[in-house]
Amino acid sequence: MAASDNSSDSTHFGFKQVPKQEKVNLVRDVFNSVAGSYDLMNDLMSGGVHRLWKAAMIDWLMPRPGQHLLDVAGGTGDIAFRFLDRVKGEGLVTVLDINHAMLSVGQDRAIDQGRLEGLEWVNGDAQSLPLPDKSVDAYTIAFGIRNVTDIPLALREARRVLKTGGRFMCLEFSKVSAPVLKEFYDFYSFKLLPEIGGLVAKDKPSYEYLVESIRQFPDADTFAGMLMEAGFHQAKYRKLSGGIAALHSAWRL
Ligand SMILES: C[S@@+](CC[C@H](N)C(=O)[O-])C[C@H]1O[C@@H](n2cnc3c(N)ncnc32)[C@H](O)[C@@H]1O
């Protein structure tokens, strides 16, 4: 499967069907629950590999000093901090997230790291961005888009706020095709990962949702097609770690 069906009143929340208007609250509950252990769990679950994927995102984005980045579903600030490091502090990042608890962990991290400038934290929804048309140079979303109820709407919003010549980039879990890797990955994600979530974050159901939501997300070709449908140009992707994740890039021209 793939993106949610716009014509129906229900959508998927992991492997369950729920009313569309409920999904946003369910997703909020998941991240309220995991916010405090989110960064530790990311390192544990991926063996630190999420750091390499995020570095690959910033490498491909190639930000320049003076740019304004909108990092949607920015959570605890990982992409924002990497962006600011790359432009040596000479840029602005709006970190937007629907979840207060995730943003608050991000703000604490920023203070701990002495990052006092170049960051603004905004509580908002990817589906109705509180930013003017053509106002940002780049839009990033890392491991966020699969949680959004209406993905085509979020993509149109992304295009709306990007300046002409602006860059869209998405990092998300994708589809593993090599049979041996797929077998191992399925075992790891369906059997081990929720147990780790139960032990460390004391919340197995949230980690079951996270795994299921990965399987519901479209494959890389389908997602590239959705970008073109939203009006983007030159949609391309790179698979990471055998397709466990994928990076998509597209332009507003
Ligand atoms: C897996 S975390 C990713 C955080 C961060 N980007 C990273 O890569 O570490 C997903 C984030 O998406 C946010 N989110 C979910 N639905 C959203 C929406 N509709 N609009 C904005 N943020 C959303 C969640 O609150 C959560 O912080």
Alpha carbon distance 88, 112 (integer Å): 18
For ligand 1, the distance from its centroid to the CA atom of residue 34, given in whole angstroms, is: 12
Ligand 1 atom 4 nearest Cα = 75
Name the pTM for this structure.
0.94
DSSP symbols for 40-52: HHHHHHHTTHHHH
Residue 40 covered by a domain: yes
Which atom of ligand 1 is found nearest the CA of 42?
9
Confirm whether 163 is domain-assigned: yes
Ligand 1 within 6 A of 143 CB? yes
β-strand pairing of 245-252 with 233-240: antiparallel
pLDDT lower than 50: segments of the chain: 1-5
Asked if residue 241 belongs to a domain, the reply is yes
Which helix (H) or strand (E) segment is 24 a member of?
A: helix 20-34
Any atom of ligand 1 within 6 Å of the Cβ of 74: yes
The answer to whether position 93 is within a domain reads yes
Domain tally for the chain?
1
pLDDT tens readout for residues 110-144: 999 999 899 999 999 999 999 999 999 999 999 99
With respect to residue 188, please indicate whether it lies within any of the assigned structural domains.
no
Is 173 inside any structural domain? yes
> Domain range for residue 100?
10-178+205-252
The CATH number of the domain holding residue 168 is: 3.40.50.150
The proportion of the chain whose per-residue pLDDT surpasses 70, expressed as a percent, equals 97
* pLDDT tens, position by position, 14-50: 888 998 888 888 888 888 888 999 899 899 889 999 9
Question: Atom 13 in ligand 1: which residue has the minimum CA distance?
Answer: 73
Say whether 202 sits in a helix, a strand or coil. Answer: coil
Residue 192 lies in a domain: no
